[in-house]
Structures are given as C-alpha cells and as structure tokens.
C-alpha cells in the first residue's frame, strides 16, 4: 500500500526551464506532496559539478532526494512517486497488462520522438544554438500528427483518463511553440493540453518568450 506522505520534504534538483523537471514537479503537486526545489543554473553547468554528478553520473536533471533515496530520470521518478505515495497507484499506472503497456509506450515516446523533436527544437531556440532546425521541426510535426490522430479517439494518451503517460508528455508539447513548432493544426492536441491543465493541482511550466511564443 502506498504511503500517504514522505517523512520530510522531497528535494527536487533541476531547472524551471526544463520540461523533464516540470513533469516531476507537476506530479508532486498532483499528489499534494511536500517538496522543495533546488534550482540549478544549466547555462552555468551546475548540473556538471562533482557534487551533482555524485547524485547523477549522467549529469542530467531532474534528481530527487527522498530521505535516503536518491533517484534520477524523470520517468523513473514518476513511477517511484506513484508506487510509493499515490493513494491509488492504479489511477496513474494501470495494473492490467494492456493498460500498463500503453503507458510504457508513451514513456518511450517521451524519451524518443518527443525528446528529439519538440524538446530539441525548443532547446535550439532557447539556447541560441547555431544549427539547422529544419529536420527537428519536421520530426516534431510528424510526432504531433500521430498524437493528434490518437487523441481523436480518446481524451488522454493512454485511454479515457489521465495517466503518467500524459504527465510525461505534456510539457514539451505545450511549449513546442517556443521551438517554432506551431500547434495551430492540431485541435485535438490542444484540447488534450487543456484537459491536463484542468487536473486538480496542475502547475504550469515557466514560459520563455522565444520562437512562436514571443511576448507581444
């Protein structure tokens, strides 16, 4: 049975501009868990210091510290938080084989096509990388088209209710315009974003005025 609350606040190491960090922060708030954010300056490579590499040798955010547990990788952290603290773990990660497999499929999307599509396009713009974004934007729209088709038959990525699949994929889709990837052609996708944003406890990720999201 899942615990109700941690003995002390969970420490979340990361950056406000990271969608990987946001998916963990979002789930922490959806579960109403106490946590504190340890903000790292990615531009100053604070995620590559010896102190941080001792927590995650890959030098990636997020990392959480929950008592004597130190854990990296956003999707792994989502699973951990669900299994340890969610009042009803099956709410976010189905227990039947097909339901669990569907969520895992979208974890793979988050780590693959999403990371190398909308997330990569956003990073190129946000950090001013001198690179041709044409192929990255093309990959982004290929993914969004698949998601649009999927969401034409169901309200959430893995079925009729929100799961960890939606938490894992939300941020980089919502912020795709920051990478000059428009969402205008995807009404089902935009409706899905609104449904995620309507979840009790939802918190947004900070918006960066770059790409198509330049502040007016």
Mean pLDDT calculated for residue range 53-75: 93
Q: According to CATH, what is the number of the domain 10-89?
A: 3.40.30.10
- Give the percent of the chain with pLDDT over 90: 78
Q: Which fold has domain 93-213?
A: Glutathione S-transferase Yfyf (Class Pi); Chain A, domain 2 (1.20.1050)
Asked whether the beta carbons of 49 and 39 are under 8 A apart, the reply is: no
Please report where in the chains the tokens 């615990």 appear, as a residue.
3
Domain ranges of the chain: 10-89, 93-213
Helices (H) and strands (E) in the chain, counts: 10, 4
Q: What is the pLDDT of residue 216?
A: 38
pLDDT in tens, 107-141: 999 999 999 999 999 999 988 887 888 999 999 99
Asked whether the beta carbons of 19 and 175 are under 8 A apart, the reply is: yes
The Cα–Cα gap between 128 and 201 comes to 33
Whether residue 49 is predicted with pLDDT greater than 90 in this model: the reply is: no
Q: Cis link prior to 62 (omega < 30° from 0)?
A: yes
């Amino acid at each position: 049975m899942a615990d109700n609350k941690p003995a002390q606040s969970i420490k979340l190491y990361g950056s406000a501009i990271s969608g990987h960090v946001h998916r963990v922060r979002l789930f922490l708030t959806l579960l109403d868990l106490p946590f504190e954010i340890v903000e790292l300056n990615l531009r100053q490579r604070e995620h590559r210091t010896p102190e941080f590499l001792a927590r995650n040798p890959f030098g990636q955010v997020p990392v959480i510290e929950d008592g004597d547990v130190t854990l990296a990788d956003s999707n792994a952290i989502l699973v951990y938080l669900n299994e340890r603290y969610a009042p009803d773990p099956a709410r976010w990660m189905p227990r039947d084989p097909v339901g669990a497999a569907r969520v895992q499929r979208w974890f793979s999307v988050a780590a693959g096509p999403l990371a190398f599509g909308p997330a990569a396009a956003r990073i190129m713009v946000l950090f001013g990388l001198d690179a041709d974004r044409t192929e990255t934007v093309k990959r982004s729209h290929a993914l969004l088209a698949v998601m649009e088709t999927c969401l034409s038959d169901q309200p959430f990525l893995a079925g009729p209710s929100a799961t960890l699949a939606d938490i894992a994929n939300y941020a980089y889709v919502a912020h795709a315009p920051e990478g000059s990837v428009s969402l205008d052609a995807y009404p089902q996708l935009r409706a899905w974003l609104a449904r995620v944003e309507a979840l009790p406890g939802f918190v947004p990720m900070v918006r960066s005025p770059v790409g198509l999201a330049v502040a007016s």
